[in-house]
C-alpha cells in the first residue's frame, strides 16, 4: 500500500489493517491495544472517545450531521457502560456555507446533547477556502462516567448469546438512496439516535453485560468479526433471526447490497450469558429504540475467529469482514 483509498475508511478489512499496521504500531500502549470504541481510563472510572463526521447529504431522513456527531460519540461512550458527560466540538466549514443551515445543525446537536445529559465544554472552528472541504466536517470528542465496569469485546466466551437491539442497515440504505437521488415510495429513514437511555435501563436491570458495540461503519458483519478475532471465538448467527425491515430488504435486493455490512447509527449488539438473555430482551423491547431486539446467534466451539451465518435452508457460509468501498461517506 502506497496511497490511501476510500476503502481504508470503510470500517472493514482495509480500515482495520491500516489501523493495526500503522497507527497501532507507532502509538502502541496498553489502553489502545484493547481496541474498543472508547478508551477506559482513570482506573476504570472514565471512558474517552473521539469521532469525525463527513456524511453526505448533510440533512437526511431521520437526522443530520449535527445529530449524527452527538449520537456517534455519545453512543461509543454508552457502549462501554459510560454516561456521556462532557464533549468537545470542532468544525471545519467551507466558505460560503449558509449560516441558517449551520444553525440548524447546531440546534440539532443541542437537542441530542439534552437527551444524553451531556454538554459541550470546548471547541474549535476553522473556515477553509471553497473546494477545500465538502461543505462541513465535524469532530466530537467525549468523556463519560463509567456506570458499569468490565464491558469488553475481549471477554466474550463460549455459550454467550448475541443480541441485536433493532432492525439493521437502515442508516446505510437511507443515506445511499438520498445521496443518489433515488425516489422510493418508502418510510425508510436512518436509525440515528442516542443509545444511553437504553443502556441505562440495562444497567438498572442488573444485567451482566459481557460486550456491547454499536454497528456503525461496516455494520453488523464488522462488529461480529471484530469480536470473533478479539475474543478468539466462533460466532454462529441464525440468518432468519436477524431483524431486517421490508424497506432495507428491498433496497438490498434491488441494488445487490449485503444488509449485514450496511451502517447503523442507533442499533447495537450485546453479548450476554444465556441466563441473562430473557431479561435483556425484556428490557430492550420495553424501549422504543430497541423494540425489535432479537437473539441472533451464539458463541460456539466451531471455527475460531470466524463468523458463521446459518441460512434458513440448512446451509452455512462465513460472514466475512467487509472489504472494498462500502457506501462511502455514511458517517
Tens-place pLDDT, residues 210-250: 999 999 999 999 999 999 999 999 999 999 999 999 999 99
Residue, of 10 and 89, whose pLDDT is higher: 89
pLDDT in tens, 245-287: 999 999 999 888 999 999 999 999 999 999 999 999 999 999 9
Per-residue pLDDT averaged across 96-119, rounded?
98
By the 10 Å C-beta count (0-12 exposed, 13-18 middle, 19+ buried), 147 is classed as middle
Return the closest-CA partner of residue 259 out of 322, 203, 211: 322
Question: Beta 234-238 vs 306-310: how paired, if at all?
Answer: parallel
pLDDT of residue 16: 83
- Are the C-beta atoms of 158 and 210 separated by less than 8 Å? no
- Are the C-beta atoms of 218 and 265 separated by less than 8 Å? no
pLDDT of residue 182: 78
Return the closest-CA partner of residue 159 out of 236, 243, 238: 236
The span from the CA of 42 to the CA of 300, in Å, is 34
Report CA-CA distances (Å) from 219 to 82, 110, 171, 300, 320.
22, 27, 10, 22, 12
The span from the CA of 76 to the CA of 294, in Å, is 21
DSSP-based three-state secondary structure for 50: strand
Phi, psi (deg, nearest 5) at residue 271:
-110, 130
- Are the C-beta atoms of 79 and 37 separated by less than 8 Å? yes
pLDDT of residue 23: 93
The span from the CA of 279 to the CA of 301, in Å, is 25
Residue 294 in grid coordinates: 432479537
Is residue 209 very low, low, confident or very high in pLDDT (cuts 50, 70, 90)?
very high
- Read off the pTM: 0.95
Return the closest-CA partner of residue 87 out of 28, 130, 47: 47
- Are the C-beta atoms of 105 and 58 separated by less than 8 Å? yes
Return the closest-CA partner of residue 157 out of 307, 309, 37, 298: 298
Place of cell 476503502: 7
Range list of β-strands (E), the chain: 39-41, 46-53, 59-60, 63-64, 82-94, 119-128, 136-146, 161-164, 209-214, 234-238, 268-272, 294-300, 306-310, 316-318
Lowest mean pLDDT among 206-210, 300-304, 325-329: 325-329
Question: Which residue segments constitute the domains of the chain, with CATH numbers given?
Answer: 6-146 (3.30.1330.10), 161-318 (3.90.650.10)
The span from the CA of 202 to the CA of 148, in Å, is 10
**Residue 181: DSSP 8-state:** T
pLDDT of residue 181: 80
Amino acid at each position: 500500500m502506497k496511497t490511501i483509498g476510500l476503502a481504508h475508511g470503510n470500517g472493514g478489512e482495509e480500515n482495520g489493517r491500516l489501523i493495526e499496521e500503522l497507527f497501532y504500531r507507532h502509538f502502541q500502549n496498553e489502553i489502545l491495544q484493547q481496541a474498543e470504541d472508547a478508551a477506559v481510563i482513570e482506573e476504570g472510572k472514565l471512558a474517552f472517545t473521539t469521532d469525525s463526521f463527513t456524511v453526505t447529504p448533510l440533512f437526511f431522513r431521520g437526522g443530520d450531521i449535527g445529530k449524527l456527531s452527538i449520537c456517534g460519540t455519545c453512543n461509543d461512550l454508552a457502549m462501554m457502560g459510560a454516561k456521556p458527560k462532557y464533549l468537545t466540538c470542532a468544525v471545519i466549514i467551507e466558505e460560503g456555507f449558509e449560516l441558517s443551515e449551520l444553525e440548524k445543525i447546531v440546534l440539532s446537536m443541542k437537542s441530542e446533547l439534552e437527551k444524553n445529559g451531556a454538554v459541550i465544554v470546548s471547541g474549535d472552528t476553522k473556515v477553509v477556502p471553497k473546494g477545500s472541504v465538502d461543505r462541513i466536517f465535524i469532530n466530537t470528542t467525549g468523556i463519560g462516567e463509567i456506570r458499569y465496569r468490565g464491558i469488553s469485546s475481549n471477554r466474550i466466551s463460549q455459550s454467550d448469546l448475541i443480541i441485536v437491539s433493532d432492525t439493521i442497515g437502515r442508516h446505510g440504505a437511507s443515506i445511499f438512496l438520498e445521496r443518489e437521488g433515488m425516489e422510493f415510495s418508502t418510510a425508510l429513514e436512518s436509525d440515528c439516535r442516542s443509545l444511553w437511555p437504553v443502556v441505562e435501563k440495562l444497567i438498572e436491570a442488573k444485567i451482566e453485560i459481557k460486550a456491547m458495540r454499536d454497528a456503525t461503519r461496516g455494520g453488523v458483519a464488522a462488529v461480529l468479526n471484530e469480536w470473533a478475532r478479539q475474543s478468539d471465538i466462533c460466532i454462529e448467527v441464525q440468518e432468519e433471526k436477524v431483524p431486517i425491515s421490508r424497506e432495507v430488504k428491498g433496497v438490498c435486493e434491488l441494488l445487490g447490497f449485503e444488509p449485514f455490512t450496511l451502517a447503523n447509527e442507533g442499533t447495537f449488539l450485546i453479548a450476554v450469558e444465556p441466563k441473562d438473555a430473557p431479561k435483556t430482551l425484556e428490557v430492550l423491547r420495553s424501549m422504543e429504540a430497541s423494540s425489535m431486539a432479537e437473539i441472533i446467534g451464539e458463541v460456539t466451539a466451531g471455527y475460531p475467529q470466524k463468523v458463521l451465518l446459518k441460512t434458513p435452508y440448512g446451509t452455512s457460509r462465513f460472514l466475512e469482514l467487509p472489504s472494498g468501498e462500502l457506501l462511502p461517506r455514511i458517517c
